[in-house]
Structure 1
């Protein structure tokens, strides 16, 4: 998946979400992505629960298309 496809997939699955995805810099393969997701859907959730929402949004792609995901999540207020 391209970073753009990952963004679109996350944004389609999480309410009022803005996702920014880029290839991780360094000695990584192309399937290492750095992702920031901002959504009011994260309000009141633990960090683990927030990350689970993103992983659920990506579904099967997490095991087939995305090898590693550096993930930052926050609410719009943060």
Structure 2
């Protein structure tokens, strides 16, 4: 079953409370998303660690309810 963009955003914000989250449905099918996550808590962390934190916030849904997420992460400029 597809996962709504609002649910993805909520899960990420719960796991990374200081995050600004922007989710875009790339195909209009509820299965292929692009996510932009900006958080001060990412500052000084390598990109792989930032992505791991997002995946952790999604609680194992990646590859299950959430089929594809093109992810961009950063600390605020």
TM-score normalised over the length of structure 2: 0.88
Gaps in structure 1 of 5+ consecutive residues: none
Match of 2:48 in 1: 48
Count of aligned pairs? 75
Runs of 4+ deviating beyond 6 Å: none
TM-score normalised over the length of structure 1: 0.87
How far the C-alpha of 1:63 sits from its partner, in A, is 2.9
Match of 1:68 in 2: 68
The alignment's C-alpha RMSD in Å is 1.4
